Structure 1
């Protein structure tokens, strides 16, 4: 079972997300356990302050190192292997599906969700193992970003999704965007499902899906093709696409 701890000043924000839908199912199935802790509890300040003014002056408040170091130490107590400690920060590495797959192989993740102007630099340098961002924009805190990452990781764990192939075929998991999907009815207001999907010929369907995945990636996210591990057939199809789009 994976263990996920979240350190936040607003633990109530996680109630709906962690106890609904796939996250609830993952806990019920024994794939993961969640614990959200208000790290004010670890402050030694008599008023339980967790932030202070920055040395040298400047706008805003900075999170102090003491409460977070104490919280992570408490969560790590008695463990043979130290947890992976993830700092949510707009300066961090951009989160990707590859990173989600990497995290899904870990046993224990600790997410630190900050607020205010920033973190004492000693938290970055001596406490965390990863700094992550979900995009080039700034949120009021790390909670929403942590929720997004937790969701993307937990859905990859065994026995969480109903179909074992679902996470394998997701967009980005193969290095490409996912192919188009269709369901009943075959004809909706004159809009028809591609004939190949109704043929029952699985070899043709797989080929169509592979080519559609390449086409969609080529049209929407050419940048992904630079690092995608393409087969010889995919490379030839891509060359053909480039010629047709000239």
Structure 2
């Protein structure tokens, strides 16, 4: 009887031992799998971090490229709208501004004026002092006028020694007053070589008579032609006023 009990107990012990061995084996397999998956997880995290760092670098490169492109576009825009010699608006840009102002005035029924001005006897400057001196005169003149008009007013080089000014919300009378201020400042300014120059001004404004853009420019040009007969003079279209100083 005891032998049977002992045998049964031994078998139970053997079975328990085997179960323990299997459990230990399973535990080891689980630990090994856990270690493996921890290693895979850490490796994946490291790869993701590396990819994120690379992506951040690429995004920074893209941001820099975008900023460079914006700067280049701005530089190109400035170059495309600026007269290379005088560093004010070129003819294409000042015409664009003039056309936009014309359409605004047509729509809202307001007023604006334009001035065309020309350097008197400019050929003599080039002949007597050379083209480099002439170029310097045009640059200094452009900057002098640019610095003496309001921020809402626009000046551009019309061609050669002629300049074009667009004056929003300005009647021909007020345009004439500005032309006179500019004329006097120019006449008093020391251009070094030559020391003094003068300019003639033609002024015209928008009139509600169906005039188109070209007719307004033609009126200002006609006024300038009258002013050039006397030189150092400001003329409103069909009204020429001689300089007194």
Structure with bigger strand share is 1
Task: Select the structure of larger CA radius of gyration.
Answer: 2
- TM-score normalised by L of structure 2: 0.20
Larger helix proportion of the pair = 2
